[in-house]
Amino acid sequence: MQQHLEGSLLEEIRGKACVLQVLENEELGLIGRVSGSQEALFVQKDSFMQSELLAHVGACVLVEGQNALVVGGFDLEMAFELFKHDLQVDFVQEEYRILEALAPFFAHFQETRDHPHFKHYSQILDLEVKKYDLIISLSPLNAHQIDGLQRMLSMQGILICASYHPLLKQQNFKNALEALAPFFAVIMPFFNPYSLTPAYFLFASKHFHPEADMILQKIDMLEDLRHYNAMLHQAAFAQPNWFYPTYKGLLKN
């Protein structure tokens, strides 16, 4: 897959602690590769897939929700998807220059920034004191970060975070599961089917189960979706036979 995610370099943007390379690929259009303190890969042809899946996997399980927080990444389109659930979205990202340069990857970039339910902060420390019903981290979290974010969740809150690959980095994956265990009743890994940039995520909840508590009525009422649906929601949590004995005792499902 990696060879298909190459292209001719159009521009390179340097931020505070990150570098963005924008490439042009004949088949896929623009490719954005972020390196440095935060890492991300965006493909113009499929960037909506991650935005839709991560937003709705969490929000379509919540019975009621008011506040969502997105940290550790640049996917501004995710906030636009969360607006469909009438959520107030706080978005934390200090790399303003790189975020601006990624605008071509997000169909509703300016509309999201101008939305009355959207607030952009440079640092987590700048956030108002409140509880969040859904927190999405687009970067893997260490034990200290997990502890801090879970304190910001409501009593029935959900944390979704990027994860290490369970085959390529087994110990890192196990460490993440162990760090989540003291705080959450449900811990389940999932991935994004059909994505050109495959990635793993962890769904951690103090109360809700991502499949048993999936609200079909909510999903059916969503409009203008190109990727997410109820079947994809369930398929995202499917794991192979080898997975469960390998991580026995670390999953909560």
Q: Are strands 153-163 and 132-137 parallel, antiparallel or unpaired?
A: parallel
CATH 3.40.50.150 for domain 46-236 = yes
How far, in Å, are 108, 158, 174 from residue 48 at the CA level?
10, 22, 29
Give the pLDDT score at 249.
86
Categorize the per-residue pLDDT at 2 as very low, low, confident or very high, splitting at 50, 70 and 90.
low
138: nearest Cα among 229, 37, 244, 5: 37
> Cα–Cα distance between 125 and 81 in angstroms, integer?
25
Q: Are 193 and 236 in contact (CB under 8 A)?
A: yes
Give the pLDDT score at 3.
52
Task: Indicate if 147 belongs to the active site.
Answer: yes
Task: Tell whether the model's pLDDT for residue 71 goes beyond 90.
Answer: yes
86, 114, 147, 220: the catalytic one is: 147
Contacts of residue 85, defined as CB under 8 A and 6 or more positions apart, other chains included, come to: 59, 60, 62, 65, 218
Categorize the per-residue pLDDT at 4 as very low, low, confident or very high, splitting at 50, 70 and 90.
low
> Cα–Cα distance between 178 and 169 in angstroms, integer?
14
Task: Tell whether the model's pLDDT for residue 1 goes beyond 70.
Answer: no
Domain ranges for the chain: 46-236
Per the prediction, the chain carries an average pLDDT of 94
The single residue listed with the structure tokens 């793993």 is 200
- 83 SS3 class: helix
Averaged over 187-199, what is the pLDDT? 87
